[in-house]
Structure 1
Amino acid sequence: MASFIIEGGHKLHGDIYPQGAKNEVLQIICASLLTSEEITVHNIPDILDVNNLIQLIRRIGVKVEKKGVDTYSFKAENVDLEYLASDDFLKKCSSLRGSVMLIGPLVTRFGRAVISKPGGDKIGRRRLDTHLLGIQKLGAKFEYNDADGMCELTASKLKGCYMLLDEASVTGTANIVMAATLAEGITTIYNAACEPYLQQLCKMLNRMGAKISGIASNLLTIEGVDKLKGTEHTVLPDMIEVGSFIGMAAMTGSEITIKNVSYENLGIIPDSFKRLGIELEQIGDDIFVPAQDGYEIDTFIDGSIMTIADAPWPGLTPDLLSVMLVIATQAKGSVLIHQKMFESRLFFVDKLIDMGAQIILCDPHRAVVNGHNKQIQLRGGNMTSPDIRAGIALLIAAMSAKGVSRIHNIEQIDRGYQNIEDRLNAIGARITRI
């Protein structure tokens, strides 16, 4: 198990570039199974979750070529359907949550998908019902083996229908959209997710010959086609990494420029950081964060305590609440962080409390943070990363703390952040991997 040793208290300065968006790439790679022609994808991040999915589809029989530093091509011409039922395939699926998005492409193109309960972050229950019920409504037959957690879906030909999703699941919507592209007839999905990464997937599928309308809304209409073709696609910059860099600058009192952020796709994120008192300036497609001696949390119009909560897009992404919670520990004022969409994701705050933060954990979903107004510096600590987003939040805390910190289980951070210590060290951080 690898660890980070962080020497806190160092300011950052300079330019930093966000990597390609993890959540988009996982969808795009799975979509390559929808056609026998070549799909070329640019701006793919070199991170654990993405690399594991690439290795998995290689084993399925997809021809994968690395054509540049961050460019790959995928050609699913000769897929090994027998491997899909092997113990090796099921084992690999169980350690990678993104593998669930293989279901839609496999069922709609090959008539069968087998998958085990996927792994990923330990942040409470993350149901697959939306995925499975949606594809069943398209006509797939579903069987579940409780003994080994194996799911199997089969269909001779999927047929379009109307469906109202029980939740606006991003991966669930992606799975159903991919399945519907080759289904017979018209599929209408209401309460669909509309995140920028889902929009990117739909736009790529349309370039492949799909007929999807309503993109960027929660009502998608997909007219099934007989066949999809190859295309070229460029992945958006990762909005979660952009937010993480904003948090690092604020906590360390640093001046940095985050380059090429695709500002128009950040939605409410910049304004959410401004509510915490952080100054931001859009310069072209960059974000400039000036050095601030302090920042003050806003209040509601009536003067009551600010609440920051996650919500489906265009609301605030839940992946940034951990970062915002850490930022609030050094702000002037108080804030209620309400993590509505996932349970247990706030349990990492006990590590912050050990570092000197003033946080009241109300329940698995809510925490009240009383900011120090940078009058009391956090102290270095010894901690373990429970998931990707908590890991980066703990790293931000350690970078601002007095003394040396150690973060264990940084493989969780590696799942979502590419060469993070090298990139941060290049602009002034002191982080060592051991």
Structure 2
Amino acid sequence: MRTLGVEEELLVVDPDGVPVPWGPQALEAAARWGEAETVTEHDRATRGSGPERDDDRGEGDGDDPVGHLVPELKAQQIELGTRVCRDLAGVADELRYWRGRADAAAREVGARVAALASSPVAVEPVPTPGERYADMGETFGLTAQEQLTCGCHVHVSIADEEEGVAVLNRIRVWLPVLTALTSNSPFWLGRDSGYASFRSQSWNRWPSSGPTELFADAADYARVVADLVATRTIVDTGMIYFDARLSEQWPTVEVRIADVALHVEDAVTHAGLVRGLVETAAREWRAGVPAPEVRSEVVRVAGWRAARSGLGGDLVSPVTGRPAPAADVVTALLDHVRPALADTGDDERVSAGVAAILERGSGADEQRRVHRESGDLTAVVRAAVVATHAG
């Protein structure tokens, strides 16, 4: 069974619902408990991602690095990472635990954390102190300065890089469906963006982001990464911001397409779908099934459409390449991965999670409902704080 782990970025907000740059201070508090680091993304990439813990939460893999709280690009953020899990029950336990620890750290400085992929209220993003983040701000201008977004990254184990590249080639056409299903950023700094996931629009301003073309093999993937770094445009390999990539430090495929989920169970559903996609793709590769030869331009358009309408309109079907109702396309994704879900015992939980999201709507739909009822964007944030820690 493939192991998996999840990273989430959370927004730090004051009791009134306004994002505040108190993430570094909150992490200092958590560091005193042995549950946080103050290293940058690049530093983590070179030496691992978190402290070792010896406890009985979830189904963690005891020999692997475990959960952690770390800084992100902006001081209004905290990132959490689960330890390696063998099942979705473990993922759920880990996410609840680390969301709770992030919130406890924020409470130490008079704040809370909310699983919002963008800030509903207008705020000036404040960069987290550090040489790398300062370098990014100088190099990328407004793209870096305005980047206050919170995503969810799912890592799924692979046998080796050849299998990983084969997986990347086969899951790319399905990733826009995950964008729609996880959309949770309709508001952008004080106004309705008109998108279900405006985070993805902001994120894709980075020069190394988005979908990729098909790779011939692992060596081809490595050459593309090396060529990107050789342009001296991106700061380092940590800025390989593909929708899905091979992890630098772990033997995993890392899927980076999703908004952070408002509800823990929605994040668990997403993680289950990602593991199902990875396993399905690996089986197809071993069986000699070729990867879909869909141009990256078409995948990018499918991603844009998913970000724009979320679950409220048509999506581009990965099967036909034509528009179809969002519920039908999401159901096609579920059917595509169902054999893999059945083999890991995830079918019932993931199917129920997908049905729940289709019935009540995405996080973006929930945010807009709160705003329609209250007329107050800070009320959206306060409701998100409650939803983040429900259950």
Shorter-chain TM-score bucket reads under 0.3
Q: Higher Cα Rg: structure 1 or 2?
A: 1
TM-score normalised by structure 1 residue count: 0.24
Higher helix share: 2
Higher strand share: 1
TM-score normalised by structure 2 residue count: 0.26
